[in-house]
Amino acid sequence: MTTHYKYSNLFPNANVRVTYDRFSYLNKIFRVKSTSLQANGLVNITLEDFDPSIYISDDSDKEGEFSVAAPTLSMPKGLEFISLPSARFPGLTTQNFPDVNGFLLWDVSNSSSLLRYQVVDWQGTITEIGVPTSEVITDTNGLTKQFIGITNLEDSTDYLFKVRAISYKGSTSIYAQLRYTTTVVASPVYFSTVTSFKATNLEAPTSYIGNQLSVSWDTHIHPLATDYEIEIYEENGVTLLRLDSTTSNTYNYNITKNIADYAALNASAVGAYRAIRVRIRATNGLSGASLVVSNWTNLI
């Protein structure tokens, strides 16, 4: 199956749920066999079926994920959620972690057999997110914690966070669980950059079909990133010809816009630009101090 790039951190032996009407799958559990990132920014995932009868479900886990019958790893301890800003963790900021509303933290394990941790997607999708043991941060009291950024939280919503440990041999701990109810979710300071920004009317790498430029991009993963700003420049990349905004994930710089931009900068002369530069960024559609944006992504 081919899906969004955010699933690229799935790893072999992770369990995922799949709903697919064609084969009458409804939250059917598969195991990840392999993943590969494609040139278009999507991820190809190979899944394999398995017999759940060789696993047992922990009584405290009603979501249907299965644990190995005899776990050899201890359950992660000290699970907690922090909002930002945090005086305890000044190194965790939304400037460093775009799209993030807060962080899920837990204690570092001293097990020598530990490979990584696995976090079940708090939004209830098929995702099980891998967290390497190197993903740690130390608070102002000298306590080191594992962490993962949490995104796409909504106001006044109850969430269930679940984390388990995975060894080099594939054995797992049972899930540590934390219920957290949001009040007013902090908006991120920055969004991550727009992905898969590309021309869609290319005949060859530098040869366009027709008299316009058509571009498309992936819908942003953050629900507050509702708008996109597109800037059109002369070939020198300095002279701005046009700034447009759209809520779609496609845009056309047609000949009518081109002629108008040429006339505006050339004393109403009739003509058009044959070479231009284009860039895009995501925004929340607001202005002033409430504006949240991503960094610019250039069309190559």
- Domain boundaries along the sequence of the chain: 1-50, 65-181, 190-298
Q: Which residue has the higher pLDDT, 277 or 35?
A: 277
CA separation for the pair 297, 295 (Å, rounded): 7
pLDDT digits (tens, 9 = 90+) for 43-102: 788 888 765 554 544 444 444 444 444 446 788 999 999 887 788 888 777 667 777 888
Specify whether the CB–CB gap between 113 and 72 falls below 8 A. yes
Question: Quick one: the chain helix, strand, coil %, rounded to 5?
Answer: 10, 40, 50
DSSP 8-state symbol, 190: E
pLDDT digits (tens, 9 = 90+) for 134-155: 888 898 989 999 988 888 787 7
Q: Which residue has the higher pLDDT, 65 or 29?
A: 29
Task: Give residues with Cβ within 8 angstroms of 259, minimum separation 6.
Answer: 270, 271, 272
Closest CA to 28 of 6, 49, 5, 56: 49
Tell me how far apart the terminal alpha carbons of the chain are, to the nearest angstrom. 28
The pair of three-digit structure tokens given for residue 20, joined into one six-digit string: 């697919």
pTM (predicted TM-score): 0.52
Strand order across the beta sheet in which 80-83 lies: 80-83, 100-107, 144-151, 136-138
CATH T-level topology, domain 190-298:
Immunoglobulin-like (2.60.40)
pLDDT digits (tens, 9 = 90+) for 219-242: 988 878 899 999 999 988 899 999
Q: Which CATH number is correct for 65-181, 1.25.40.10, 1.10.1660.10, 2.60.40.10, 3.40.50.970? A: 2.60.40.10
Query: Is the fold of 65-181 the same as that of 190-298?
Result: yes
Q: What is the mean pLDDT of the chain?
A: 81
Mode of pairing for the β-strands spanning 190-191 and 293-294: parallel
